[in-house]
Chains A and B, each alone.
Chain A
Amino acid sequence: MQFTRTLSGKDFHEMFLVATEWLEKSVADVNALNVFPVPDGDTGTNMLLTMHSALDEVKDPSAATVAEVAKTMSRGALMGARGNSGVILSQIIAGLSRSLEEVETCDGRCIAKAFEQASITAYKGISNPVEGTILTVIKDVAKAAKAKSLNGTSDIVSIMEEAVTAASESVANTPALLKVLREAGVVDAGGQGLCIILDGALRYLKGEADAMQFRKPQIIPSKVPLTPHSITTPESICDDEVPFGYCTNLLLKGQSLDVEKITTKLKKRGESLVVVGDDKTIRIHVHTLDPGWVIGYLTTLGTLDNVHIQNMDEQHEDFIEMQKEKAPAGGISMVAVVAGDGFAEVFSSLGVSFIVPGGQTMNPSTKDIFQAVEKCAAENIIILPNNKNIILAAEQVKKLTEKNIHVVPSKTMPQGIAALLAFDYDADFDTNHKLMSEAINSVATIEITQAVRSTQVNGLDIQKKQYISILDGQIISADDSLQNSLNQAFEQIDISAAEVVTVYYGESEDGAGAESVSASITGKYPHLQAEIIKGGQRHYNYILSLE
């Protein structure tokens, strides 16, 4: 049944619940709208988790006003904001909340006004707003809704219809505004995500919530002619990432057990999988979000013994407790977002008090970083995001904590390490922030990964599975050979000024492979002093730093 009345706080909450479910259905598609064919901060996932955090904060909307619900959602979104698009989404919700501050029940006119404030707040929250992104979409939405409302209507459905139409057109137009989108042949993922949320909200208002169960949002095609290498089959990127979950350990006993088959089956369900044994007894260790499924599956094969399931989030808490003591001099503690256990050890050994696990595909939320900050002994905290997608979320922590925060805008882990090395034990908080921020430019970072799809970037043809070299965030080369791709990246750097090359090898590689990469470099540039470290990072075969 279509809404003809105004929204209560409960309706408002429900509208966003339905809209978020709508978004959830297309998370993989939104994630696939990545500009770079590398495993990147997944926009869809980030927006979804931000919405969940916003909605979960609302405990009991049954008797609440719109103002109360919006305010609570705004706080939840701010805490849970992940990735750049999540942070902007949280600003949009903050803007809605600000505009609805005094509103008990809201009609179309209120919504139109709220969109306008949302647009203003979102633009203000970003230091250098870029057009052709989610920002443009919310701006266009606000404009359309305002125009409709000034036309004399206060009907919420007709105003939302205008908003959604404007959002779709705006999303389709994003490649016209942003060159990288045009080249990659995609529309902006954040804008697309927002459009789906608004579309979901509209469907709720039209009384279609039940029918939505059997349908799926449409990804908007670009209205700008794309380069020939447009997306073929979008695939979900790295959706197997499990942040923590449960550490599950057990012994499986049975007859003619098949180690290989069990390995294949469990691989899809978790991380850090170990399956060892023979056809009668097998020891299994896996980190999974769903231990129930694992147990259920294994009981069909034999009997279980020594079952241990441990909540790793708690283990992580313990780990964090242990880190509490480690604070560098001068009342300054450092928090770093790090991917890979090897890198975590390096950062830890350089005096970082808290490691927030994260990185490319699992951007930590503002809350994750905030919690680490709160646990630090010191009052002055320096945050190293080590990823361009996390810098904004780190900046948001300033709004949540009483502590003094400086964010060193490190975009790669080697930059973070260079910043740490520049830490001056005698200098004060502000001076250290300055020294560390300057130091990130003293290092060049080369990241080597494999393309997850074929595309074109910077006029470079990239085939799926090819090795891509990324120099300080710019894709330099794509080649079937890792070595060739790396060599091309090296040609872009002034090697004569460099002294030390550090090769961090990822989870997929081993020390021997790293040795040969290192040898190929020192063979060509004998003045370089090489060092090989296990980084343990996912998705990136190698990360190299030159300084």
Chain B
Amino acid sequence: MVKIVTDSTSDITRDLALSLGITVVPLTVFFGKQSFLDRVEMSTDEFYERLVEDVFPTTTQPSPGVFAEVYNQLAEETSEIVVIVISGKLSGTYQSAVSATSMVKKKGVKIEVIDSRSTAMGLGLLAINAAQKAKTGAKLEEVASSVRTNINRCHPYVYFETLKYLAKGGRVGKAQGLVGSLLSIKPIVTLDDGEVSPAARVRSKKAGLDHLYNFAAQYSGNIEAIAVEHATTPDDANTLVERLAEIFPKDKIIRSTMSPVLGTYMGPNVVGVFILEGEKTT
């Protein structure tokens, strides 16, 4: 069976990873010199407790060695591995994952590394979908090609309270125009070909959450999967889930939290909705 590997910014919880047989490779977050493996040595809650005013953590991608270790372990049980990672425009993880393919000792192992051009549950939904496909017995080519198709059907939409962290971390991309506004404006951000891109601007959180709902609702009737994530405000995310239940079975909506690595760039109070569009063409 094809094995799926992703990175910790996919925000796939440990339980979900276990049940679907997905291997999650952690990135690292640093507070000063202290390092923590993302989602392994530090949880979302622990991260935000430390993220106080004017503290800006940093992050780093997994080394090729870490990926190689994972590949070698998996090679014991499979000869086909699909690796789906965070957008190459946001992180060097893709490079590490690719370099590691040459370090696999066992012969005849096929590894396909795919740049998801997304992150958070955008990446998560792609990995989950790939794992489900693999479970049906699909071969590597089939799984990889379905991931590639799904990339264009995957839509992240995240409400930010501030772009301060994104700007500080140098990941602001095309949303540059949203930074430095004199009014306190809450941006809604998406990813455009793997790059951070502005989607809308609102003046209040309520208006922001309305935007997230309306964004999801436009795909109503053609949704393969939905995920909702929060950082520090579970109530906001829960309210959104209640509303989304109008357009998608509530028990199938995947809930998660932003990983510490993502939190480094998103700051507190973000809420995101992630849609994997169905196959109907409009």
Question: Hey, which bits of chain A sit against chain B, CB under 8 A?
Answer: 326, 328-329, 342, 345-346, 349-351, 417, 421-426, 499-500, 502, 529, 531, 533, 547
Interface size class of B (residues with CB under 8 A): 10 to 19
A16 to B230, CA, bound (A): 69
A361 to B174, CA, bound (A): 38
B182 touches A345 (CB 8 A): yes
A328 touches B207 (CB 8 A): no
**Which residue of chain B has its CB nearest to the CB of A342?**
B182
Nearest CB of B to A535, in Å = 10
B203 touches A421 (CB 8 A): yes
Nearest CB of A to B202, in Å = 7
A529 touches B204 (CB 8 A): yes
Q: Does B170 touch A at the CB level, under 8 Å?
A: no
B207 touches A502 (CB 8 A): no
- List 28 A-B residue pairs with CB atoms under 8 Å apart, sorted by A's residue number: A329-B174, A329-B177, A329-B198, A345-B182, A346-B181, A346-B182, A346-B183, A349-B181, A349-B182, A349-B183, A350-B181, A350-B183, A350-B185, A351-B177, A421-B185, A423-B201, A424-B199, A425-B174, A425-B199, A425-B200, A426-B199, A499-B203, A499-B204, A499-B206, A500-B203, A502-B183, A531-B184, A533-B183
Q: Which residues of A have CB within 8 Å of B200?
A: 422, 424-425
**Which residue of chain B has its CB nearest to the CB of A348?**
B182
**Which residue of chain A has its CB nearest to the CB of B175?**
A425
Q: Does B43 touch A at the CB level, under 8 Å?
A: no
Q: Does B63 touch A at the CB level, under 8 Å?
A: no
Given A425-B198, A426-B199, residue A531 in contact with residue B183 (CB < 8 A): yes
Q: Interface readout for B175-194 with A: 1 if CB under 8 Å, 0 if not?
A: 00100111111000000000
B207 touches A499 (CB 8 A): yes
- Which residues of chain B from 196 to 246 have a CB within 8 Å of any chain A CB? 197-204, 206-207
B183 touches A417 (CB 8 A): yes
- Which residues of chain B from 114 to 143 have a CB within 8 Å of any chain A CB? none
* Known A424-B199, A425-B200; 16 more pairs at CB < 8 Å: A329-B174, A346-B181, A346-B182, A349-B182, A350-B183, A350-B185, A351-B177, A421-B202, A421-B203, A423-B201, A425-B199, A499-B206, A499-B207, A502-B183, A531-B184, A533-B183
A500 to B205, CA, bound (A): 10
Nearest CB of A to B205, in Å = 9
Q: Which residues of B have CB within 8 Å of A499?
A: 203-204, 206-207
Q: Which residues of B have CB within 8 Å of A342?
A: 182
A350 to B200, CA, bound (A): 12
A423 to B200, CA, bound (A): 7
Q: Which residues of B have CB within 8 Å of A417?
A: 183
Q: Which residues of B have CB within 8 Å of A349?
A: 180-183
Q: Which residues of A have CB within 8 Å of B184?
A: 531
**Which residue of chain B has its CB nearest to the CB of A528?**
B204
Q: Which residues of B have CB within 8 Å of A424?
A: 199-200
Q: Which residues of B have CB within 8 Å of A529?
A: 204
Nearest CB of B to A298, in Å = 37
Interface of B is mostly: mixed
Q: Which residues of B have CB within 8 Å of A425?
A: 174, 197-200
Question: How many Cβ-Cβ contacts under 8 Å join chain A to chain B?
Answer: 48
Q: Which residues of B have CB within 8 Å of A346?
A: 181-183
Interface centre among A326, A342, A422, A426, by most B CB within 10 Å?
A: A426
Q: Which residues of A have CB within 8 Å of B183?
A: 346, 349-350, 417, 502, 531, 533
Interface centre among B180, B184, B202, B203, by most A CB within 10 Å?
A: B203
Q: Which residues of A have CB within 8 Å of B181?
A: 346, 349-350
Nearest CB of A to B57, in Å = 27
A492 to B278, CA, bound (A): 47
Nearest CB of A to B26, in Å = 33
A328 touches B177 (CB 8 A): yes
- Which residues of chain B from 140 to 181 have a CB within 8 Å of any chain A CB? 174, 177, 180-181
Nearest CB of A to B187, in Å = 10
Q: Which residues of A have CB within 8 Å of B204?
A: 499-500, 529, 547
**Which residue of chain B has its CB nearest to the CB of A349?**
B181
**Which residue of chain B has its CB nearest to the CB of A347?**
B182
Q: Which residues of A have CB within 8 Å of B180?
A: 349
Q: Which residues of B have CB within 8 Å of A423?
A: 201
**Which residue of chain A has its CB nearest to the CB of B199?**
A425
A351 to B177, CA, bound (A): 6
Q: Which residues of B have CB within 8 Å of A502?
A: 183
A349 to B163, CA, bound (A): 14
A351 to B174, CA, bound (A): 13
A426 to B198, CA, bound (A): 9
Q: Which residues of A have CB within 8 Å of B207?
A: 499
Q: Which residues of A have CB within 8 Å of B206?
A: 499
**Which residue of chain B has its CB nearest to the CB of A545?**
B203
Nearest CB of A to B180, in Å = 6
A500 to B181, CA, bound (A): 16
A342 to B182, CA, bound (A): 9
A85 to B210, CA, bound (A): 42
**Which residue of chain B has its CB nearest to the CB of A343?**
B182
Q: Which residues of B have CB within 8 Å of A350?
A: 181, 183, 185, 201
A321 to B67, CA, bound (A): 50
Q: Which residues of B have CB within 8 Å of A547?
A: 203-204
Given A346-B182, A346-B183, A350-B181, residue A421 in contact with residue B174 (CB < 8 A): no
B177 touches A533 (CB 8 A): no
Nearest CB of A to B267, in Å = 18
Q: Which residues of A have CB within 8 Å of B182?
A: 342, 345-346, 349, 533
**Which residue of chain A has its CB nearest to the CB of B179?**
A349
Nearest CB of A to B277, in Å = 15
Nearest CB of A to B36, in Å = 34
Taking a contact as CB atoms closer than 8 A, the residue among A326, A329, A421 that contacts B201 in the complex is A421
Q: Which residues of A have CB within 8 Å of B199?
A: 424-426
Nearest CB of A to B164, in Å = 15
A426 to B207, CA, bound (A): 19
A329 to B200, CA, bound (A): 12
Nearest CB of B to A528, in Å = 10
**Which residue of chain A has its CB nearest to the CB of B206?**
A499
Q: Which residues of A have CB within 8 Å of B203?
A: 421, 499-500, 547
Nearest CB of A to B159, in Å = 14
A403 to B185, CA, bound (A): 31
A351 to B187, CA, bound (A): 13
A499 to B200, CA, bound (A): 18
Interface centre among A328, A422, A425, by most B CB within 10 Å?
A: A425
